[in-house]
Amino acid sequence: MVGITSAGAYVPIYRLARGDIARVWAGGRGVAVAGERAVANFDEDTISMAVEASIDCLKGIDREQIDGLYFASTTAPYREKQSATMVAEALDLRREIFTADFTDSLRAGTNAMRAAIDAVKAGSAKKVLVTAADCRLGALQSEYEQNFGDGAVAILISNSGVIASVEGSYSHSNDIIDLWRTDTNTFVNASEDRFSVTYGYLENVQEGVSKLLERYNLSPKDFAKAALYAFDARRHLELARNLGFDAKTQLQDSLFNTVGNTGAAYALMILAATLEEAKAGDRILFTSYGDGCDAYILQATDKIGKLKGRKGIKGHVASKLPLPDYTKYLRYRSLLGELALAGEPVATINWRERNWSVRCHGSKCRECGKIEWPIQRICAYCGAKDNYDEVRLSDKKLTLTTFSKDSLARSVDPPIIVCIASIEGGGRFYAHMTDRDPDKVEVGMPLELTFRRLYSKDDIHTYSWKMRPIR
C-alpha cells in the first residue's frame, strides 16, 4: 500500500492584513480582499521554507532512510541550478539519494507527489520526501498581490507506515494562458479572471473530479473531506457547490483568509491541514490545479494519529507576528532595491564550509566529548587533533547567552540582532536572530535554529542557520 506516511508544513511568521495593502492603493483599485496573507521574511525563500516544512514532516523519522527528495516551486531561487540539492543538504540527508526539481506550474507540487508515488510503486525508492514551496509576487495594485501568500509543505511518500493511502488518482493536462511568467518577469501575469477562472480553474477541476469519481464509482457523499485548491475564497466555494460538496461539513478550509494562495505548495498545504484533522477511515478527495488537474482519492489509516506532535498547518497559522506595514513587504521582497554587499565571491567558500554551514554539523570530540560549532579540527576544550565525529545540531534547542541590537549595519530589517547562544548538550552558536520582536529579546531566552538565506551576492545565494524565538 503506497501513501503518505508523514506530513509537515511551514507558514512564515509574518502576516500582512490585506486591508493594509488596499489602503496604499486607495483611490485606485484599492479594494481589500478579506483576511490576511502570509509574508516570507526577508531572509526566506522557497528553499528555506521547504527546509522548514520538511523538518516538520520528518520529526521522529530517521533521515538516513530517505532515498529521494523532490522539490516543487514556481519560484525556485535559481533559474538554472537544482534547489532540491540544497534542501537535501540542509536536511542532512544522505548523499546517495535521487533529487529532482518540479517547476513552472502551479501543479508542480502534485506532479512531484505523483512522481514519488510512481517511484515507490516501481520499487526504485522506498521513502521519497516531496516538498513544495512558493513565494510569488502578484503585480503591485492587483488582487493577486493580496491573494498570494508564502508557505511550504512536505509529505513523505512510502509503502510502509502509511497514514493516508492513495486509493485512486486521475490527471489531465490542459494548455491555457491564465497565469504565467517568463524568466524576466518579476510579477505573475494574469488573464482576465472571468476567462481564466471559468475555462481554467473551474472547468479543469470539475472535469478532474468528475472523471475521478466516475472511474472509481464514487460520489461526493462518500467523502469525509474535500481538499480542493482554491483560486480564491469565493471561487473555492463556487467549485465546491458545483461539485456537490457541502461547504459546511465537507469542504476543507482553503487557508485563503489566513495564509493566501501559496502557488505550487497550496493544494498540498490544504491536504496537510486535512490530514491533521482526519480520523481513521476518512476518505479524502484531493485536487490541485495548474495547466490541468491532478486529483486523488486518499483514505486515512489507523496510523493517522502519528501526525500529532508536528507544528503543521494549524501550529504555524496560530504562530504569527503582524507585519507592521506594506513598506516592509516591499523591502522584504527587494521591490525597493537590493542592499549592496561587500566581500569576496562565495562559491568556493560556501562549498568548502557546507558541512557546518548548511548541514549544521558541529564537531563532537572523541576524547572529551565536548561539542563545538562550527566544526573545529583542534578541540577548543582538550586540544585533541582531528579526533571528532560530526553531529547534527539543527534540531537542538539553544539558550541566549548574549546579544546586541545593531542599528548601524545596513539591513533590510534593522536592527540586526546578533547573538551568541549555548547549544543544548554543549557548544556555542553565533548567528543572527530572525522572526523576532526586538523589544522581546533577553539573555536566557530559549531559541531554536532555522535555515535562512543569509545574503545574495553576485547572484549566489548563501544559506545557513539563524536563531529564532521558539515558534
Partner 1 sequence: MSGSIKDRVAIAGMGCTRFGERWDTGTNDLLVEAAYQAFEDAGIEPKDVEAAWLGTSSSGGTGMTLAEPLRLQYIPITRVENACATASEAFRNAAYAVAAGIHDIVLAIGVEKFKDSGMSGMGGGGTDGPGHAMLSQGLPPRQFAMLATTYFSRYGLSFEEGKHMIGRVSWKSHKNGALTRNAHFQKEVSMETILNAPMIAWPLGLYDCCGVSDGAAAAIITTPKIAKRLRKGKEPPVFAKALQIAISPRDGNYNSKYDWTHVEATVRAAERAYKEAGITNPREEISMAEVHDCFSITEAVTMEDLRFSPRGKVKDDIESGRFDLDGAQPIQLDGGLKCFGHPVGASGLRMMYEMYMQLQGRADEVLNPGMPSRQIKNPKLGLTHNLGGSPDGCAIFVGIVGLEGV
In terms of phi and psi (left: phi > 0; alpha: psi -120 to 50; beta: otherwise), the region of 254 is alpha
Considering the rule CB under 8 A, would residue 343 count as an interface residue with partner 1? Answer: yes
- For residue 325, the tally of other CB atoms under 10 A from its CB is 14
**What are the backbone angles phi and psi of residue 54, rounded to the nearest 5°?**
-70, -40
> 164, 4 in Cβ contact below 8 A?
yes
State the Cα–Cα distance between residues 353 and 390, nearest whole angstrom: 13
Q: What is the nearest approach in angstroms of partner 1 to the Cβ of residue 357?
A: 5
- For residue 126, the tally of other CB atoms under 10 A from its CB is 15
Report the residue from 65, 82, 415, 471 that binds partner 1 according to the rule CB under 8 A.
415
Report the residue from 26, 31, 341, 382 that binds partner 1 according to the rule CB under 8 A.
341
Considering the rule CB under 8 A, would residue 430 count as an interface residue with partner 1? Answer: yes
Considering the rule CB under 8 A, would residue 337 count as an interface residue with partner 1? Answer: no
Nearest CA to 293 out of 79, 111, 35 is that of 111
> 388, 375 in Cβ contact below 8 A?
yes
Considering the rule CB under 8 A, would residue 469 count as an interface residue with partner 1? Answer: no
Considering the rule CB under 8 A, would residue 422 count as an interface residue with partner 1? Answer: yes
Considering the rule CB under 8 A, would residue 97 count as an interface residue with partner 1? Answer: no
Considering the rule CB under 8 A, would residue 331 count as an interface residue with partner 1? Answer: no
Please count the residues of this chain forming the interface with partner 1, following the rule CB under 8 A.
47
Considering the rule CB under 8 A, would residue 334 count as an interface residue with partner 1? Answer: no
- For residue 310, the tally of other CB atoms under 10 A from its CB is 22
Nearer to partner 1 (CB atom), residue 59 or residue 457: 457
Nearer to partner 1 (CB atom), residue 201 or residue 356: 356
Q: Is 360 helix (H, G, I), strand (E, B) or coil?
A: coil
Report the residue from 464, 467, 468, 469 that binds partner 1 according to the rule CB under 8 A.
464
By CB under 8 A, which span of 162-170, 239-247, 319-327, 350-358 interacts with partner 1? 350-358
Q: Which of residues 365-404 bind partner 1 (CB under 8 A)?
A: 372-374, 376, 380-381, 401-404
Q: What is the nearest approach in angstroms of partner 1 to the Cβ of residue 358?
A: 10
Report the residue from 406, 413, 448, 471 that binds partner 1 according to the rule CB under 8 A.
406
What separation in angstroms does the CA of 61 have from each of 56, 197, 264, 299, 399? 10, 40, 25, 22, 25
**What are the backbone angles phi and psi of residue 139, rounded to the nearest 5°?**
-55, 140
Sort strands 397-406 and 416-423 into parallel, antiparallel or unpaired: antiparallel
Burial of 457 (0-12, 13-18, 19+ CB in 10 A): middle
Q: What is the nearest approach in angstroms of partner 1 to the Cβ of residue 436?
A: 13
Nearer to partner 1 (CB atom), residue 164 or residue 398: 398
Considering the rule CB under 8 A, would residue 428 count as an interface residue with partner 1? Answer: yes
> 201, 221 in Cβ contact below 8 A?
no
Cis? peptide before 374, omega within 30° of 0: yes
By CB under 8 A, which span of 47-55, 245-253, 314-322, 333-341 interacts with partner 1? 333-341
Q: Which residues pair with 170 in a beta bridge?
A: 295
Considering the rule CB under 8 A, would residue 46 count as an interface residue with partner 1? Answer: no
> 102, 71 in Cβ contact below 8 A?
yes
Q: Which of residues 437-456 bind partner 1 (CB under 8 A)?
A: 443-444, 454-455
Nearer to partner 1 (CB atom), residue 51 or residue 346: 346
Report the residue from 283, 314, 405, 471 that binds partner 1 according to the rule CB under 8 A.
405
Considering the rule CB under 8 A, would residue 184 count as an interface residue with partner 1? Answer: no
Terminal-residue alpha carbon distance, the chain: 35
Burial of 85 (0-12, 13-18, 19+ CB in 10 A): middle
Cis? peptide before 324, omega within 30° of 0: no
Q: What is the nearest approach in angstroms of partner 1 to the Cβ of residue 41?
A: 15
Nearer to partner 1 (CB atom), residue 315 or residue 415: 415
Binding site for partner 1 (CB under 8 A): 339-346, 349-350, 353, 357, 372-374, 376, 380-381, 401-411, 415-416, 418, 420, 422, 426-428, 430-432, 443-444, 454-455, 457, 462, 464
